[in-house]
Amino acid sequence: MGTFANPFRPGAGHKPPYLAGRGKEFREFERLLAQRIILENMVLTGLRGVGKTVLLDCLKPRAQQAGWLWVGADLSESAALNEENMAIRLLADLSVITSNLALATERRPGLGFTAQDGIRETRLDYRTLSSLYINTPGLAHDKLKGTLEFVWNSMTQKAPEGVSGIVFAYDEAQNLADHSEKEQYPLSLLLDVFQSLQKKGIPFMLLFAGLPTLFPKLVDARTFAERMFRVVFLDKLDREESRAAIVKPMEAKACPVRMDSSTIELIIDLSGGYPYFIQFICREMYDSLLFGPDGTAFAPVDAILAKLDTDFFAGRWARVSDRQRVLLYVVSRLDHTEEEFSLAEIVTLSGQILKKPFSSSNAGQMLSSLVRAGLIYRNSHGKYSFAIPLLSQFIKRQPAEQFLRASV
């Protein structure tokens, strides 16, 4: 068997051994990088497990090859808590690439006849950026805009030639939100500042990755966000792309495992074409084939699905109340549950299969709660969709009796 390691990596955000089916997204990003004036920023959105974080990481070297600098991080809820935190997040990230930029050099006379003249440099590090922010007059918007504008002006004078601009890339951007009840508008601050800088011709580009709830939040905060962003929805892979994601990692000569066509087609069906599930199921299949007695056995489908349920779905399912689970059970019974569904469809079907059906108001309240919990989202058509891929399949694997009892 040698030392060839299992090539499949189902961890959160781990780059797969072969990135299949994202050529269109790469081309779209390269088009945006070619803008001389930033008219469009990018939103990468899609369900969990579709590969947003992986793609975001793969875009970085392409930006750098095109002469763009790259800053960013995961956006935590604390970073989006208030305007001050948002400014700190941006300046801290920016300081990583500006800290080596010397703004001024001060020569100080040496002490004693053998001392050399001392040299003291002021660099554009976080301390300097913070000081600039604090000492710029005005509100948070004025302070942040002024500081970022100063940074770009300094870079055009001091930085090496060939810098096209800066990409500000943030994952988990669905955590962005305004908080009107606290009179804090960090999301609006971010959009206003970057729109203002871009109108001045400063090439600072926003790149957000997040769940499908992200873009409606941007538009709710500022209506101009609809024109400010190019939304790229990452979908599941088609069968040919899925097949490549399965087969390519095992093409190395040293790989001791080969999967026959029936096993590959089974994995495509079980995964639904979602990259995370392809990696998860392939890892289990690979190990089973590797350690099978004749090299042909594979893990029972039920065992793989049980492990997937435990590792991926169980934690999210535990946060749902019994009555919410009943509503999701009804949704899973709809004919087009993996696409989109409406409140009216839920109410109608619940009247057919439950002893205690949902009213429109009750179902509407629950849907709002499930949106906040991140299990579903409201799409652009005003209908709802699951925010977690294949959640309906997980629900169907649960005993129906538990939902029917809870509905009484």
Residue 248 reports pLDDT greater than 60 = yes
Tell whether 204 and 269 lie within a shared domain: no
Tell whether 158 and 252 lie within a shared domain: no
CATH number at residue 345: 1.10.10.10
Tell whether 60 and 203 lie within a shared domain: yes
* pLDDT computed for residue 2 by the predictor: 56
* pLDDT computed for residue 111 by the predictor: 46
* pLDDT computed for residue 77 by the predictor: 82
Tell whether 35 and 176 lie within a shared domain: yes
The answer to the question of residue 11 being in a domain is no
CATH number at residue 175: 3.40.50.300
Binned at pLDDT 50, 70 and 90, residue 113 comes out as: very low
Q: Could you read off the pLDDT of 172-208 as tens digits, one per residue?
A: 999 999 999 999 999 999 999 999 999 999 999 999 9
Cα–Cα dist 90/80, whole Å: 11
The closest of 302, 313, 303 to 274, measured between CA atoms, is 313
The answer to the question of residue 105 being in a domain is yes
Tell whether 104 and 60 lie within a shared domain: yes
Average pLDDT for the chain: 89
Residue 105 reports pLDDT greater than 80 = no
Residue 158 reports pLDDT greater than 70 = no
CB atoms under 10 Å from CB of 346, counted, come to 24
Higher pLDDT, 211 or 105: 211
Parallel, antiparallel, or unpaired for β 118-123 and 68-74?
unpaired
Tell whether 54 and 102 lie within a shared domain: yes
Q: Could you read off the pLDDT of 310-368 as tens digits, one per residue?
A: 999 999 899 999 999 999 999 999 988 888 999 999 999 999 999 899 999 999 999 99
Tell whether 105 and 125 lie within a shared domain: yes
Which residue among 181, 208, 233 closes a domain?
233
Cα–Cα dist 207/222, whole Å: 17
Residue 407 reports pLDDT greater than 70 = no
pTM of the model: 0.87
* pLDDT computed for residue 403 by the predictor: 84
The answer to the question of residue 126 being in a domain is yes
Residue linked to tokens 């499949």: 8
The answer to the question of residue 84 being in a domain is yes
Which residue among 210, 233, 256 closes a domain?
233
Residue 160 reports pLDDT greater than 90 = no
Cα–Cα dist 260/257, whole Å: 10
Q: Could you read off the pLDDT of 260-285 as tens digits, one per residue?
A: 899 999 999 999 999 999 999 999 99
The answer to the question of residue 6 being in a domain is no
User: Which of 95-104, 278-287, 307-316 has the weakest average pLDDT?
Assistant: 95-104
Which residue among 260, 282, 314 closes a domain?
314
The answer to whether 104 touches 123, Cβ cutoff 8 Å, is no
For the segment 161-180, the average pLDDT, to the nearest whole number, is 91
Binned at pLDDT 50, 70 and 90, residue 117 comes out as: low
Range of the domain at 127: 23-110+117-233
Tell whether 216 and 255 lie within a shared domain: no
| H-helix segments, 136-274 | 140-158, 186-199, 214-221, 225-228, 239-247, 261-271
For the segment 285-303, the average pLDDT, to the nearest whole number, is 74
Residue 294 reports pLDDT greater than 90 = no
β-sheet bridge partners, residue 41:
229
Tell whether 322 and 245 lie within a shared domain: no
The answer to the question of residue 160 being in a domain is yes
Residue linked to tokens 């065992």: 303
The answer to the question of residue 10 being in a domain is no
Residue % of the chain over a pLDDT of 90 = 70
Tell whether 39 and 169 lie within a shared domain: yes
Tell whether 30 and 105 lie within a shared domain: yes
Residue 128 reports pLDDT greater than 90 = yes
* pLDDT computed for residue 345 by the predictor: 95
- Our count of domains for the chain comes to 3
Residue 380 reports pLDDT greater than 80 = no
Tell whether 381 and 287 lie within a shared domain: no
The answer to the question of residue 372 being in a domain is yes
